[in-house]
Structure 1
Amino acid sequence: MKKLFGLMIAFLIVQSAFAQRAGGFRFGMDLGAAVPQNGGIGALLNLEPQILLKDNLAFGVRFGVAGLAKDVTYYNISEDYEGEVSGNASITGTLNYYFNKGNSRVAPYLGAGFGYYALSSVRIDSNDIDQEEVGNLEASFAWAPMVRAGVELGKFRLGAEYNLVPPSNLQNLSGQVIGEAINQYFGFTLGLTIGGGKWGK
């Protein structure tokens, strides 16, 4: 196993010495802040292997985890309450187009994806609500699109993304829908890319 891992690292390092070319393999890692649409804060981590379909077009599979603290809305209560989400996981197919003709180490990009999101349960953080009355937001799953943009500076990357995940229903113990949690969120990331060649000469 260690030998295989070492061979993979050596392969990526060798690829990094040459210019970006179709057929090249890249591996990216992004870490950053996650901001739910209706307020709150969180963090995210994305791991993404990619293959270059063209010199400036990459297809990838993004494995993402986002931990969020966000507002939960109750239909019959005038206030919003803060819910804590332990973590949302996703697997997303992606396409990135890089605006680079091979003469610069700076490569702005636009990207999009579509994937499967596993949404964890929510715990309500309030002493003013009877927990037995409001129930819980159970774990659920959803298909959703994602759009993003950013710039690569050599092997480093700055990016912003928006995950259009549909809301989840909040049910009480009788099974009635009494509220919802908004799952859409922005991500602002700093990342690193290994392999795939280099931008510019």
Structure 2
Amino acid sequence: MKKLFTIIIALLAVQAAYSQEADRFRFQMDLGAAAPKGGGIGALVNFEPQILVRRNLALGLRMGVAGLAKDIVYYEIPDDYTGELGGNASISGTANYYFNYGKGKAAPYIGGGFGYYTMSNINIETTDIDEDDLGDLKANFAWAPMIRAGVELGKFRIGAEYNFVPKSDLQNINGEVIGQATNEYFGFTIGYFVGGGKWGR
């Protein structure tokens, strides 16, 4: 955790320095739908300050929250149940490469990142087992990569991303592993940014 905080402070310091130069600093926000691997539904929101280290290369720090509802694997419960993942939060270092050469306001991009994900509590609903017997189910923390692609149109963004969050064990109040949750998810986003980006100029 200390290394993570050190990286965050260093990135914010560099961003503050670059923000004094015209068109170097930008800030973007994305909203969208999320689809967990294996089925389900959800929503996400991302905030991301970035530095344009080149005209077509941006480095950033993405802070995101995703709420997901999906089935999970529970070792002792029959099939007639549903599992609900309340949500996860993440912070990731990112890089975006833009394919724009001054020929219009559209800038396709590809990118990726690597960061720290925290998974929230899991609630299980079943008709056969009393909820009091399940205990307080919790998932773990994980480091994971993310890839994305999309296009910027002026100051607006349309994109898709995939977060490779590893599976996590579910534990009851006694610390026993009683199930497993799949945490990978796909996101489709729309957003807006302010600051740098000279597309079409």
* Aligned-pair CA distance for 1:128: 2.2
| 3-state DSSP of counterpart to 1:125 | strand
State the distance in 2 between where 1:81 and 1:185 align. 21
State the distance in 1 between where 2:47 and 2:122 align. 25
1:88-120 CA distance string (max 9 Å, x none): 111010000011112221111111000011111
The alignment covers a number of residue pairs equal to: 182
Contact 1:135 1:170 in 2 (8 A): no
Give the TM-score, by structure 1 length.
0.83
* Alignment partner, residue 109 of structure 1: 109
State the distance in 2 between where 1:80 and 1:72 align. 12
AA aligned opposite 1:65: V
Give the TM-score, by structure 2 length.
0.83
1:33-86 CA distance string (max 9 Å, x none): 011001111110000000001110000000100011111112344527322222
Contact 1:133 1:172 in 2 (8 A): no
Structure 2: which 5+ residue stretches go unaligned?
A: 1-18
AA aligned opposite 2:103: N
Contact 2:137 2:173 in 1 (8 A): no
State the distance in 1 between where 2:69 and 2:80 align. 13
AA aligned opposite 1:200: G
AA aligned opposite 1:33: A
| 3-state DSSP of counterpart to 2:70 | strand
| 3-state DSSP of counterpart to 1:71 | coil
Greater shift in the superposed pair: 26-35 or 96-105:
96-105
Task: State how 1:1-201 maps to structure 2 within 5 Å.
Answer: 24-77=24-77, 79=79, 81-201=81-201
State the distance in 1 between where 2:69 and 2:81 align. 11
AA aligned opposite 1:182: T
AA aligned opposite 2:127: N
* Aligned-pair CA distance for 1:176: 3.2
Contact 1:96 1:111 in 2 (8 A): yes
| 3-state DSSP of counterpart to 1:175 | coil
Contact 2:125 2:131 in 1 (8 A): no
Say what the alpha-carbon RMSD is for the aligned residues. Answer: 2.0
Contact 1:136 1:170 in 2 (8 A): no
State the distance in 2 between where 1:38 and 1:138 align. 20
* Bigger relative contact order (CA 8 A; separation at least 6): 1
* Aligned-pair CA distance for 1:177: 2.1
* Aligned-pair CA distance for 1:170: 1.7
Contact 2:42 2:68 in 1 (8 A): yes
| 3-state DSSP of counterpart to 2:33 | strand
Question: Aligned in 2, Cα 1:80/1:195: closer, same or farther, shift over 3 Å?
Answer: farther
* Aligned-pair CA distance for 1:133: 4.1
Structure 1: which 5+ residue stretches go unaligned?
A: 1-11, 16-20
Identity, in percent, stands at 65
AA aligned opposite 2:57: L
